[in-house]
Structure 1
Amino acid sequence: MPEAVRRVLRPFAILAGLLAIWQAVQWASQAPAYILPGPLAVGEALLSRWPQLANHAWVTFTEILLGLGLGLLLGTVSALAIASFRPIRRWLLPVLVVSQAIPVFALAPILVVWLGYGMASKVVMATLIIYFPVTSAFFDGLRRTEPGWLDLARTMGGKRARILWHLRVPAALPALGSGLRVATAVAPIGAVVGEWVGSSAGLGYLMLHANARMQVDLMFAALFVLAVFAVGLYFTVDRLVSRAVPWQAEER
C-alpha cells in the first residue's frame, strides 16, 4: 500500500479502534446509558443536536483562537525582552516563575468577577495557560544559540540587534515551535474551565448544563467536538511550524 494512502487511512483506523474499545467496555461493564453511553448513542446525539453543538462550538473555538493568538504574541515579546535586556530579565523571570506557582484554574472565578460572563474572561484564561510554554520555550531557544555562530557574528562586526534578528531568532524558531505545539494542546483547557466557572455559551457551558440534566450522551458529543478542535489545531500548527522551520531535521 502506498505511504500516502496509509497516512490518509491511519487516523480512521485509530478512530475505529478507539470506538471498538469504547463499545466493548460499555458492553462488558453493562453500564447504564446515563453513566457510559455507547458510541452509537453519542453519534445520534451529535447528529440530532448538531445545530446547538455548532453554535456553542463556534464560541469556544473563537475563545481558543483569540487566546492562542494573544498568548503567542505576549509570549514571544516577553521572551525577546528577557533575552535582550538583562535588567528586565532580573525582574520578569521571577514573576514568570511565580505565576506558574498559582494554579491558573483558581484564577477563573476572579477573572469572571473582573471581566464578566462574556468571552473576555475565557480568552484571558486561555492566554494565561498558553503564555508560559511559549515564553519559556522561546527564551530557552534564544539563550541556547550556538556559541560559535555568535562569536563569528561578533567578529564580523555584527550589531547586537542584527545578531538577535538574523541569528538568534531563526535559531530559536524550532524551540518556539515546540512551545507552540504544547500551547495548542492545552489551549482548550483554559476556555472550557472558564466556561465551567461562569458563562452563557460555549461547549463547557453546554457540558455543564447537560451534566445537570443527566444528558450524558450530549456531554460526550460536546467532548468529542472539543477533542476534534484540539487535534485539528495541533496538527495544523505542527504543519505550519514544519513549513516555517524547513531546516529542522525531522525523522520519519
Structure 2
Amino acid sequence: MMNARNANEAVMAATSRPRPVRRRAWSSSCYTAATVAALLLAWEAACRIFDIGAYLLPTPTEVIKTIADDPVFLLGHTGATAAATIAGFVLAVIVGVALAVAIVYSRLLEKTLFTSLVAFNAIPKVAIAPLFIMWVGTGIESKVLMAFLIAIFPIIVDTVAGLRSVDPAQLDLARTYRSSHFKMFWKIRFPNALPGIFAGMKVGITLALIGTIVGEFVGSNRGLGFVVLQAQGTYQTPLVFAAISVLSVLGVVLFHLIDLAERRLLPWHVSHRGAKP
C-alpha cells in the first residue's frame, strides 16, 4: 500500500510541475517577438535620425499605413499568390512522392531519372519562366508550373532518403512472414519515410512560393509579385515593402501549416516528443 501511495504521489508531483517544453516554446516565441520588435524600432529610428526619404527606405509605420489604407487590395493579390503556390505545391507532393517510390524500386530509374532530375534542377528556373508564359499564357497555370518545378526536387530527394532509411531487419522479418511488396511498403517503408517527406514538404512550400513570385515577375496581372513589380516601376517604395511584408507573412503561415500537420500526424517522431502542451 505504501509503495502504491508513494508511486501515485510521485506521478501527481511530476504532472503538477510546469512542463519544460511549454516553457521553452513560450520563451522562444517571446525571444522571436522581442527580436522582431527591436529590429523594427531600429529601422524606424535609423530612418528618422538619418532623414531617409520614403522613396528610398520607408519607415515601418509608413509600411503599416500603406497596408491599412487599402487592405482589400493586398488581400486580393495575396489570395492569387497563395492559390498558385498551394496548387503547385500539392502537385509537387503528389508527383514527387510517386517518382521517389519509382526511383527506390527501380534501379533503371535511379540511374536515369534521378540523374536527369539533378541536372534539370541546376538550370535557373528564371530562364524557363518565359517559356511557360509563351506556352500557357500569363494566367495562373504558368505560376503553378513554376511553383511545381522549384518545389518538386527537395520532395523527391527527401522522400527517397526516407524510403531507403528503413531498418533492413524489419524488411527481413516481413519477408519471413511472406508479406507482399505492397504490404511492406505500406506498413514499413512509407511510415518510416513520413518524417523525410515532411522535411521535403517544409522546404518545398517555401520554394513553391518563390516559384510563384518568379512567375508573377515574368508575366502576370495578379499576385504579390505583380504588385512589387508595378510599385517598383512607379517608385511606390512603401507599397513595395508592404507587398514584401505580406509575402513574408504568407511564407511563414504556409510553413507552419506544414509543421502543424507534421505534429498532428507524427507525434511519435523524435523531433516532436514532448512538444504537445
TM-score with structure 1 length normalisation? 0.93
1:198-241 Cα distance to aligned partner (Å, 9 max, x none): 00111100110100110000010001111110001111111111
Please say if 1:192 is aligned against 2:213.
yes
Tell me the distance in 2 between the aligned counterparts of 1:21 and 1:156.
65
Aligned to 2:77: 56
Aligned partner letter, 1:185: T
1:115-136 Cα distance to aligned partner (Å, 9 max, x none): 1011000000000111001011
Aligned to 2:261: 240
Structure 1 unaligned runs (5+)?
A: none
Tell me the distance in 2 between the aligned counterparts of 1:7 and 1:100.
35
Aligned to 1:206: 227
Match of 2:57 among 24, 36, 58: 36
Match of 1:120 among 141, 145, 159: 141
Aligned to 1:68: 89
Match of 2:45 among 24, 37, 47: 24
Tell me the distance in 2 between the aligned counterparts of 1:134 and 1:244.
18
Aligned to 1:216: 237
Identity, in percent, stands at 36
Aligned to 1:157: 178
- Shifted more, 198-207 versus 2-11: the winner is 2-11
- Shifted more, 128-137 versus 1-10: the winner is 1-10
Q: Which has the larger radius of gyration?
A: 2
Tell me the distance in 2 between the aligned counterparts of 1:13 and 1:237.
25
Tell me the distance in 1 between the aligned counterparts of 2:265 and 2:70.
39
Structure 2 unaligned runs (5+)?
A: 1-17
Aligned to 1:80: 101
Aligned partner letter, 1:192: I
Tell me the distance in 2 between the aligned counterparts of 1:102 and 1:7.
38
1:118-173 Cα distance to aligned partner (Å, 9 max, x none): 10000000001110010110011111211221222222222222111110111011
RMSD (Å), alpha carbons: 1.9
Tell me the distance in 2 between the aligned counterparts of 1:107 and 1:114.
11
SS of the counterpart of 1:132? helix
Tell me the distance in 1 between the aligned counterparts of 2:255 and 2:35.
17
SS of the counterpart of 1:201? coil
- Shifted more, 20-29 versus 189-198: the winner is 20-29
Alpha carbons of structure 1 residues 7 and 27: separation in structure 2 relative to 1, 3 Å? same
Aligned to 1:95: 116
Please say if 1:175 is aligned against 2:203.
no
Aligned partner letter, 2:249: V
Tell me the distance in 1 between the aligned counterparts of 2:177 and 2:53.
73
Aligned partner letter, 2:110: R
Runs of 4+ in 1 over 2 A off after TM superposition: 1-15, 24-31, 85-91
Tell me the distance in 2 between the aligned counterparts of 1:176 and 1:231.
19
Aligned partner letter, 1:173: L
Alpha carbons of structure 1 residues 20 and 172: separation in structure 2 relative to 1, 3 Å? same
Aligned partner letter, 1:127: F
Aligned to 1:141: 162
Tell me the distance in 1 between the aligned counterparts of 2:108 and 2:177.
27
SS of the counterpart of 1:250? helix
